[in-house]
Amino acid sequence: MSIGRWGRVALAALAVGLTGCMESTTVLSLRKDGSGTIRMTQYVSPQTEQKVAQAEFAMHTMMATMAKAFKGRSGEHAQMPEPEKTDFLAAHAKKMARIYGPGVALTSYAAVTNAAGWNGYDASYTFADVNAVTIEIGNMDFLDSESEKDEEGIKWQYGFAYTPGETGRLRIEPRIQRAASDGDPEEGDLHPNAQRMLEGMRLTFRIRVDGKILKTNARHASPGDTDAVILDVPMDKVLADAQARKWFVAGAPVDSTKLDTLQRLGARMDEDNKILDIRFR
């Protein structure tokens, strides 16, 4: 096994343990011809930044140890560079272009800081065809582990089918994966440390159309609006509720029976399996 392969394995292992807090807002703006833009503003807590730095240092230490172990075997003489601090936020913004899909291009990037002092970035992307776009909300793989599977928690993804015309029609397909999270399966509750790490976490996704919405089945949009709220979840407030925490730990899907409770806690969303339909002109 090569050093490069060992590195990917180590990186994936470290990424599994990387949890933290973020505030993320994604706005997809759709033109009538099916092209458009994505703007994502994302902040991470100081604790998350610290965890990323610790994980990067641990990875370098692990790689250096492996290099020494390989040295002299099969003629390999691996040399490890000195560790250096990487701009993981800029790398993450570039990674999101790949996640959004082929033809999505990162067009602008700026480092930003929110009112709480969290560092982050404001990035803009362009796309030619929304049908080829996949939006993912809340991606926290700041180490770029190339892992295809989340071991725990929620992955919010959305695909699109658009029909242009005098009245444009956009269908939004949720691709939401839920798995049991960091908690006690017998008690059905989060570990206290995991809950503290979610303080300040909020995930938001909106769609903005070029015109006015004529008709929609989305709960958080109305005729005459330009924006439809697809997802807006203050995770810390939602998970302050005992019942909501049990759903989260169990990986329970959101259906109509849970929406009233979640909305009372400040969350705006539709059912996990509901295909949303927006017609606009």
CB atoms within 10 A of CB 5: 9
Give the 3-state DSSP-derived string for the chain, with helices as H, strands as E and coil as C.
CCHHHHHHHHHHHHHHCCCCCEEEEEEEEECCCCCEEEEEEEEECHHHHHHHHHHHHHHHHHHHHHHHHHCCCCCCCCCCCCCCCCCHHHHHHHHHHHHHCCCCEEEEEEEEECCCCCEEEEEEEEECCHHHCEEEECCCCCCCCCCCCCCCEEEEEEEEEEECCCCEEEEEEECCEEECCCEECCCCEECHHHHHHCCCCEEEEEEEECCCEEEECCCCCCCCCCEEEEEEEEHHHHCCCHHHHHHHHHCCCCCHHHHHHHHHCCCEECCCCCCEEEEEC
Q: Tokens for 88, please give them.
A: 């993981």
Q: Tokens 């050093």 identify what position?
A: 3
What confidence category does residue 30 fall into, taking pLDDT thresholds of 50, 70 and 90? Answer: very high
Point out the least confidently predicted range of 7-21, 109-123, 195-209, 244-258: 7-21
Q: Compare 196 and 75 and report the one with higher pLDDT.
A: 196
Quote the Cα angle for 271-274-280, to 5°.
115
pTM of the model: 0.81
- Contact status, residue 131 vs residue 161, Cβ threshold 8 Å: yes
pLDDT at 187: 52
| Residue 258 predicted with pLDDT over 90 | yes
- As a whole number of angstroms, the distance between CA 24 and CA 59 comes to 27
pLDDT at 252: 87
Interval 35-67: pLDDT, tens: 999 999 999 999 888 888 777 666 656 665 666
What is the chain's alpha carbon radius of gyration, rounded to the nearest angstrom?
21
Give per-residue pLDDT as tens, 210-242: 999 999 999 999 999 999 999 999 998 998 899
Partners of residue 277 on adjacent β-strands: 171
Contact 121, 112 (CB under 8 A): yes
Is the pLDDT at 172 greater than 90? The verdict is yes
What is the distance between the alpha carbons of residues 93 and 111, in angstroms, rounded to a whole number?
A: 11
Q: Tell me the pLDDT of the chain averaged across its residues.
A: 82
